Amino acid sequence: MVEDLSGVVNPEIEGRIIDLKGDSLPGDISDRKGWVKENGTWYYYDAKGKAQTGWSKVKGTWYYMDNTGAMQTGWEKVNGTWYYMNNSGAMQTGWEKVNGTWYYMNNSGVMQTGWEKVDGTWYYMNNSGAMQTGWEKVNGTWYLLDNSGAMQTGWIRRAGSWYFTDKSGAMQTGWIELDGEWYYLHTNGRMRTGWVKIDNEWYYFSGSGDMQ
């Protein structure tokens, strides 16, 4: 890796570096090969001295150059799909925190939205790709995502109340039977205790929520 005078890490160099300081240099354009910095912008030239555009894989790392050949950083929408390139221009995969928000890019660098299973755990990203936490309503069903974004299942205590989500993560309401015991969950998902009137009938639930 090479750093310019501003301390920003630049792409790995394949071939020779021209204009490291951003000063224009004389010479035939055919001399330009590999990474070249011109007026503060990085370009990548092939062996014939032709500036590359679009995607280019350099020493195992993908970079994206616009139609002028300028290397891109940050978010880039290509053919309707979002990708994220770091300050070196390298396309990112996996989890990436951008301006305090987590995003997930698959192995092809594509930003993901909706449900995504990562290392056995489900996460939910909204339409902008931002990872969600807390209660999230998806297609009419409520799910609870912890502070790390992981979808929760089973009994969950939240703000002093108990909730139950099934194996799919869906919050349950109404009557549920668990290990031979009956529980009743309000329409907002909260487990009920004490005397509760349900369909004009009174039921009593212990402090643990099981019907007595």
What percent of the chain is modeled with pLDDT above 70? 86
Q: Are 95 and 87 in contact (CB under 8 A)?
A: no
Q: What is the pLDDT of residue 29?
A: 52
**63-116 tens-digit pLDDT:** 999 999 999 999 999 999 999 999 999 999 999 999 999 999 999 999 999 999
Q: pTM of the entire structure?
A: 0.81
Query: Mind spelling out the 3-state secondary structure of 36-88?
Result: EEECCEEEEECCCCCECCEEEEECCEEEEECCCCCECCEEEEECCEEEEECCC
Give me the amino acid identity at 5. L
**152-210 tens-digit pLDDT:** 999 999 999 999 999 999 999 999 999 999 999 999 999 999 999 999 999 999 999 99
- DSSP lists the bridge partners of residue 71 as 65
User: Residue 12: pLDDT above 50?
Assistant: no
Q: How many CB atoms lie within 10 A of CB 208?
A: 10
**26-58 tens-digit pLDDT:** 445 557 889 999 999 999 999 999 999 999 999
- DSSP lists the bridge partners of residue 203 as 196
